Structure 1
């Protein structure tokens, strides 16, 4: 009991963490590392690549839902990003093998539905509730069936199991009350009966995991404009098989500064899953750095000729003096009826896209690739699905604020259209817009508008491919963000 008390005290003194696998997945790659000889290129795994090709066209909500469900089934121990990597692949195989299907491959629709149902059942059984904690200011998921006891503490809240063997603490420090360096030194200090199993510190966060002879802890702090916030989980090792997955679910739910997230929404998970071929980025499928990165975008534009940019007419309704790459963008033609605008930017260095427009309307349910806004001022690449509404074609996708004019490509890399309108006050969940339907200006309409303005169709159909990145490649260098001074 004395040893357990010492462990609980150490856990309570910490304030934010993850299991090593999850911690490594959430840690950003260092900006510079010592040069090492490049390892021999591994041979492509055709089964893995086929699974990737089947996973990526799924709506983002389903991709993230599968990863979340696999956390709850005990098969996935990484960040829920919606990107496909070795962890997701292995988790899908593990579930299928346990369900009686040992053959490698991507699960069919029936099996995916079973995975989602199993995850939902496990989540409900734990009474896992994502809630705001007013005492610390964080948003966090709490397995209320296990952690039924709740009590206030300085700068946060404690949730604890009835027997005291599992404790979840939230903690906050105001500006100037603490700093990450001091916290990191404290939580990684050597102890007679505690071993640090993983530690990482960056400018704005730290993660530390540890063990005693009988217990485990997960610690994580994040620094923001209003101070430092975090959480700690401490639990008996004997409970590891059940509590480990709860730790992963709690860590994936954690939002340290929800008010800041609402004010400046960002795509979830600014990194890729370990083992994924996608570049580390804010959106699920990667991001492309373009001129003008840094300011919050109000719209997206496609460079269709030297110095000429096609965008949504709705962008000009809220900003009379838009800028692209820091330069003034002069409206040449705005057609509110078709929802399109053509702008001129003298000296713009981005290349013209050379895309051809799709010559037929999208069929409802067609998979598309969308180049929309990223809150950091760049371009976010994500998947979506076409639909049909009373006023014409629609797009269902996880677009973030500033995505009016987002460029939509079909799987052959052809221009399928532009997002006509993004709401001024979108519904946000933890600072992020979930998948929604948006009106779409079709590719044929866009081509007609350009022809009327003496801009001929491009000579190429873009880049086709089995992955989002491959499809987006042909347009990536021609997509820009519009900002408003």
Structure 2
């Protein structure tokens, strides 16, 4: 026992050096497997679809999104699901439902009838109440987070945050915040991933507006997430002793899924007059004084969808991307609908005065199952992003965000395989991570036929011709500049 406590103290000291203050472990949702590059060899026939799985998918996707998320959240609380609550359906959700059905004596079909959903919801509600799980806004950091108060019964203040801890100190949840200018995500990422004795970083993710790092020691694991917004940087660190995994893991997943760094619109905190880098001064600063509300900025156009500039003042996008945007603007110029395809899935916009553009090379042969793809999405102000994806039945699995409707999807040779038919209308950051979800696409064959009828030429390479696989950067380079953001006025 004395040796075990010494090991725990050693882990605590290593994490405290990172500003985390615990050596327990947070359950990190495993990242999606890396997309495998396409191999320039003939593609094997796609495996036959599992009718049971596809029937379960259809039944699940027929539910409203809040209902789908509620099912996944309930399965977390019953211990049958250990993923993020995105509302998307995949093998993990199917297995979770089937496992719950087996435990309750029902046939493991992966489909929940209304009475089963009601029973599942009741079981989850009982588990939440037993844990005294309460989503609350932490006044010290400003973030919202779910806290299992029966387990984390001790509460104490931290600089810019709050600590919840179990009575024996083996489970700890810390929230932290940093006012604008006092640190940055680069510095926090370097500190969280720095080498330390007896500590191994098991996963790290760095994006422009958030970071996620998981690590482990001989006795525990840790999960750290920070997100950046106008109000500064907010995050949390969560951990527990390995010996408590069976009891704590469902709670850890629930906490991670509940976290919202900026739960409501608020005025940005004032920037301190002296800006210090976290590299020279890593000490967390307390929150700012009374907030000064600045004058409201002028209403700003919002990114509504993504288009592909074909040149000659023509922009291609998907019809559903413009459902709520009857008067789009591209580069500050108004666009008008010039043509739609018969299935009402594609729209060709005319934008007078729009320069640039590039005619895409369309792929004629079918995309292979699980083939690596790339999704090119636009953002407000001309920004662009490239998201990795994997081909799935009728669409692409990728971590997409609002504004990706109409985004071109390329194979690793840089050929257009389709356009994203419909993207989420609200952000899907789950514990700081954009989870891969299945999005339907309009295939390249439909795009080619539409462009031909519209009098715009496109090249379709012979489907049997071998095409060398390129690096992601080389694959997207010829098309990336032609990706434009379609904006709607407020």
Q: Pick the aligned partner of 1:181 from 157, 170, 186.
A: 186
Query: Per-residue deviation at 1:108?
Result: 2.0
- The whole-number CA distance in structure 2 between the counterparts of 1:200 and 1:354 is 40
Partner of 1:221: 226
Partner of 2:49: 44
Which residues in structure 2 correspond to 1:36-435 (within 5 Å)? 40=44, 41-260=46-265, 289-290=306-307, 323-325=328-330, 346=336, 348-349=337-338, 351=340
- The whole-number CA distance in structure 1 between the counterparts of 2:263 and 2:120 is 30
Q: TM-score, normalised by structure 2?
A: 0.55
Number of equivalenced pairs? 322
Partner of 2:31: 24
In structure 2, relative to structure 1, the CA distance for the partners of 1:213 and 1:130 (3 Å cut) is: same
Determine if contact 2:231/2:267 at 8 Å carries over to the other structure: no
- The whole-number CA distance in structure 2 between the counterparts of 1:192 and 1:184 is 18
- The whole-number CA distance in structure 1 between the counterparts of 2:69 and 2:249 is 19
Determine if contact 2:305/2:487 at 8 Å carries over to the other structure: no
- The whole-number CA distance in structure 1 between the counterparts of 2:8 and 2:201 is 17
Q: TM-score, normalised by structure 1?
A: 0.56
| 3-state DSSP of counterpart to 1:140 | strand
In structure 2, relative to structure 1, the CA distance for the partners of 1:115 and 1:350 (3 Å cut) is: farther
In structure 2, relative to structure 1, the CA distance for the partners of 1:80 and 1:288 (3 Å cut) is: farther
Query: Per-residue deviation at 1:154?
Result: 0.7
- The whole-number CA distance in structure 2 between the counterparts of 1:35 and 1:470 is 19
- The whole-number CA distance in structure 2 between the counterparts of 1:6 and 1:253 is 30
Determine if contact 2:26/2:221 at 8 Å carries over to the other structure: no
Determine if contact 2:101/2:107 at 8 Å carries over to the other structure: yes
| 3-state DSSP of counterpart to 2:128 | helix
Which deviates the most, 206-215 or 1-10?
1-10
Query: What 5-or-longer segments of structure 2 have no aligned partner?
Result: 269-303, 310-317, 346-376, 381-401, 404-425, 430-437, 451-484
* Coordinate RMSD, CA, aligned: 4.5
Partner of 1:267: none
Q: Deviations over 1:271-295 (max 9, x none)?
A: xxxxxxxxxxxxxxxx963479xxx
Query: Per-residue deviation at 1:204?
Result: 2.0
Query: Per-residue deviation at 1:324?
Result: 4.4
| 3-state DSSP of counterpart to 2:82 | coil
Q: Pick the aligned partner of 1:2 from 1, 6, 10.
A: 6
Query: What 5-or-longer segments of structure 1 have no aligned partner?
Result: 264-286, 293-300, 304-308, 316-321, 330-344, 357-373, 378-400, 403-427, 432-466
- The whole-number CA distance in structure 2 between the counterparts of 1:223 and 1:482 is 24
In structure 2, relative to structure 1, the CA distance for the partners of 1:105 and 1:129 (3 Å cut) is: closer
Query: Per-residue deviation at 1:257?
Result: 2.0
In structure 2, relative to structure 1, the CA distance for the partners of 1:430 and 1:148 (3 Å cut) is: farther
In structure 2, relative to structure 1, the CA distance for the partners of 1:353 and 1:261 (3 Å cut) is: farther
Query: Per-residue deviation at 1:78?
Result: 1.3
| 3-state DSSP of counterpart to 1:24 | coil
| 3-state DSSP of counterpart to 2:340 | coil
- The whole-number CA distance in structure 2 between the counterparts of 1:37 and 1:121 is 53
Query: Per-residue deviation at 1:233?
Result: 0.9
- The whole-number CA distance in structure 1 between the counterparts of 2:324 and 2:243 is 58
In structure 2, relative to structure 1, the CA distance for the partners of 1:352 and 1:72 (3 Å cut) is: same
- The whole-number CA distance in structure 1 between the counterparts of 2:249 and 2:47 is 32
- The whole-number CA distance in structure 2 between the counterparts of 1:135 and 1:164 is 21
Query: Per-residue deviation at 1:91?
Result: 0.6
